[in-house]
């Protein structure tokens, strides 16, 4: 019997949320990729004021000109000459990603995606009728893909490659040389680059390596205020590109997805950018301290090996417990009061890993790590 569209039936609910439903009130949660801070107060005040001032209407589809211009200026560090025509405001990074796949992918075409992955990419490509093809980002290569692995996947129907650095879930970041070889790969095969850079300001050695400013005009950058300004609930993101022809297709598509973004909220984000521009650096400093703490603790535990990420808000250690898969280990941890995500929720090569989001205080990280240590000792019979 014909019920729902093949599109709806072909996608599955995300595995990442599965553990949440099982968590108790006093569980220490390393589960959510959501900064535990509030947005800058100037932004909250500006939001109130904007509503009082009557900014409760539709905006133009691409967003408030002043916000688009401000965003363009903030990228001039990487690429001179950007202006508002290079920016489309979206209702989150999530919305930006769907827009790009809808704009770029025909049924029957394929997109190369990282694995382990942010679990939205594949279903987005499926929704567009495309094929999701995964390139490995291996632990032994510090989660950076190898060009030979990319070459093996490509065929005449490959239209785009998605890069995500700093990465969710691995925390992997690029050097300039690595970025250049990934760029060269895309250029040789004439692929669109979708670069998901939502963690661009949460980097620990001061430098984000971007695909903006490279000598290639098929680069589309996804960004969001969710992580860098702790505004996950505000749902504002954007697409930025030097390719103005692509931008006009993207803006056209955006109209049919959501007409425009929230009016007052865009004023609030503008205030954050203008008056609290150092906020992302302040939270990045705190995340670095937490990262150091959690990595040091994890590496002292039996059967655990953890790289020290240079960005984002996650660690993705290998956790080896004989006879148990990552979901079983995560369930044991949950019984002992710690919530984390099984690596398998981020793709098959995530098996054998756990993802910990260090989006809780250092005190809670320490308490949580005491519990993880005790559980792993118990499971390993130590």
Ligand X SMILES: Cc1ncc(COP(=O)(O)O)c(C=O)c1O
For residue 332, the minimal CB distance to ligand X (Å) is 25
Phi, psi of 61 (to 5 degrees): -55, -45
Contact 173, 205 (CB under 8 A): no
Residues 6+ away with beta carbon under 8 Å from 67: 89, 266, 267, 269, 270, 273
> Of 87-95, 106-114, 257-265, 347-355, which segment contacts ligand X by CB under 6 A?
87-95
**311, 321, 268: which is closest to 290 by C-alpha?**
311
CB of 310 to ligand X, least distance (A): 15
Closer residue to ligand X (CB): 224 or 375: 224
Stretch near ligand X under the rule CB under 6 A, chosen from 61-69, 89-97, 170-178, 285-293: 89-97
Phi/psi of residue 195, each to 5°?
A: -110, 110
- Taking residue 218's Cβ as centre, other Cβ atoms within 10 Å add up to 18
Count of Cβ atoms closer than 10 Å to residue 138 Cβ: 16
Q: Shortest Cβ distance from residue 44 to ligand X (Å)?
A: 18
Question: Which residues within the stretch 337-376 sit at the binding site for ligand X (CB under 6 A)?
Answer: none
Kindly indicate which of the ranges 88-96, 153-161, 263-271, 280-288 contains the residues binding ligand X, using the contact rule CB under 6 A: 88-96
Q: What is the SS3 assignment for 194? A: strand
Angle value at C-alpha 298, between 296 and 299, nearest 5 degrees: 65
Is 35 a residue that touches ligand X (CB under 6 A)? no
Segment lying near ligand X (by CB under 6 A), choices 92-100, 247-255, 295-303, 360-368: 92-100
Write down the H helix ranges in 53-162. Answer: 65-74, 93-104, 121-127, 147-153
Q: By rule CB under 6 A, what string of x and - marks binding of each residue 153-192 to ligand X?
A: -----------x---x------------------------
Rule CB under 6 A: which of 102-131 touch ligand X? 118
> Looking at beta carbons only, is 198 or 298 nearer to ligand X?
198
Contact call for residue 262 and ligand X (CB under 6 A): no
356 closest CA partner among 166, 227, 170, 229 = 170
Please identify which residue in 124, 196, 200, 327 interacts with ligand X, judged by CB under 6 A. 196
Angle between helices 244-258 and 93-104 (to 10 degrees): 110
Q: Which one among 84, 226, 254, 266 touches ligand X, defined by CB under 6 A?
A: 226
Let me know how long the chain is. Answer: 382
Among 49, 126, 232, 249, binds ligand X (CB under 6 A): 232
93 binds ligand X (CB under 6 A): yes
DSSP labels for 119-141?
TTHHHHHHHTT-EEEEEE--GGG
Least distance to ligand X from the beta carbon of 113, Å?
11
- Closest separation in Å from C-beta 121 to ligand X: 8
CB of 311 to ligand X, least distance (A): 11
Question: What separation in angstroms does the CA of 83 have from each of 90, 92, 184, 335?
Answer: 17, 20, 26, 52
Which is closer to ligand X, CB of 91 or CB of 264? 91
Q: Which stretch binds ligand X (CB under 6 A): 14-22, 86-94, 337-345, 372-380?
A: 86-94
Q: Which is nearer to ligand X, 49 or 232 (CB)?
A: 232
CB–CB of 28/334 below 8 Å?
no
Using alpha carbons only, how large is the chain's radius of gyration in Å? 21
Omega before residue 258 within 30° of 0, cis: no
Q: Does 198 bind ligand X (CB under 6 A)?
A: yes
Q: Which of 28, 29, 33, 208 binds ligand X (CB under 6 A)?
A: 33
Size of the site for ligand X (CB under 6 A): 13
| Sites of contact with ligand X (CB under 6 A) | 33, 92-94, 118, 164, 168, 196, 198, 224, 226, 232, 237
């Amino acid at each position: 019997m014909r019920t729902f569209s093949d599109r709806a039936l072909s996608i599955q609910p995300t595995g990442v949320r599965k553990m949440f439903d099982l968590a108790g009130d006093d569980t220490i949660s390393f589960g959510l990729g959501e900064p535990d801070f509030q947005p800058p107060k100037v932004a909250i005040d500006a939001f109130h004021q904007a509503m009082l001032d009557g900014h409760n209407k539709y905006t133009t589809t691409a967003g408030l000109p002043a916000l688009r211009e401000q965003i363009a200026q903030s990228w001039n560090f990487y690429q001179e000459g950007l202006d508002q025509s290079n920016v489309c405001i979206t209702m989150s990074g999530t919305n930006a990603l769907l827009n790009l796949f809808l704009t770029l992918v025909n049924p029957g075409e394929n997109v190369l995606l990282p694995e382990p992955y942010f679990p939205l990419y594949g279903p987005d490509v499926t929704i567009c009728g495309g094929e999701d093809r995964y390139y490995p980002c291996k632990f032994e290569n510090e989660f950076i893909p190898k060009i030979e692995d990319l070459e093996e996947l490509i065929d005449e129907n490959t239209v785009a490659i998605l890069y995500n650095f700093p990465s969710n879930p691995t925390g992997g970041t690029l050097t300039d040389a690595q970025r250049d070889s990934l760029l060269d790969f895309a250029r040789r095969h004439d692929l669109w680059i979708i670069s998901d850079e939502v963690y661009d300001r949460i980097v620990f050695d001061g430098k984000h390596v971007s695909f903006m400013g490279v000598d290639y005009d098929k680069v589309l950058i996804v960004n969001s205020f969710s992580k860098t300004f702790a505004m996950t609930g505000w749902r504002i993101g954007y697409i930025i590109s030097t390719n103005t022809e692509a931008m006009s297709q993207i803006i056209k598509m955006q109209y049919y997805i959501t007409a425009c973004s929230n009016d007052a909220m865009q004023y609030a984000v503008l205030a954050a950018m203008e008056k609290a521009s150092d906020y992302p650096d302040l939270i990045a400093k705190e995340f670095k301290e937490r990262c150091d703490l959690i990595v040091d603790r994890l590496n002292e535990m039996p059967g655990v090996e953890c790289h020290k990420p240079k960005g984002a808000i996650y660690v993705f250690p290998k956790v080896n417990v004989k006879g148990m898969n990552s979901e079983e280990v995560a369930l044991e941890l949950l019984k002992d009061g710690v919530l984390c995500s099984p690596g398998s929720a981020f793709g098959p090569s995530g098996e054998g890993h756990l993802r910990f989001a260090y989006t809780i205080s250092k005190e809670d990280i320490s308490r949580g790590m005491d519990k993880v240590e005790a559980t792993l000792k118990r499971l390993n019979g130590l």
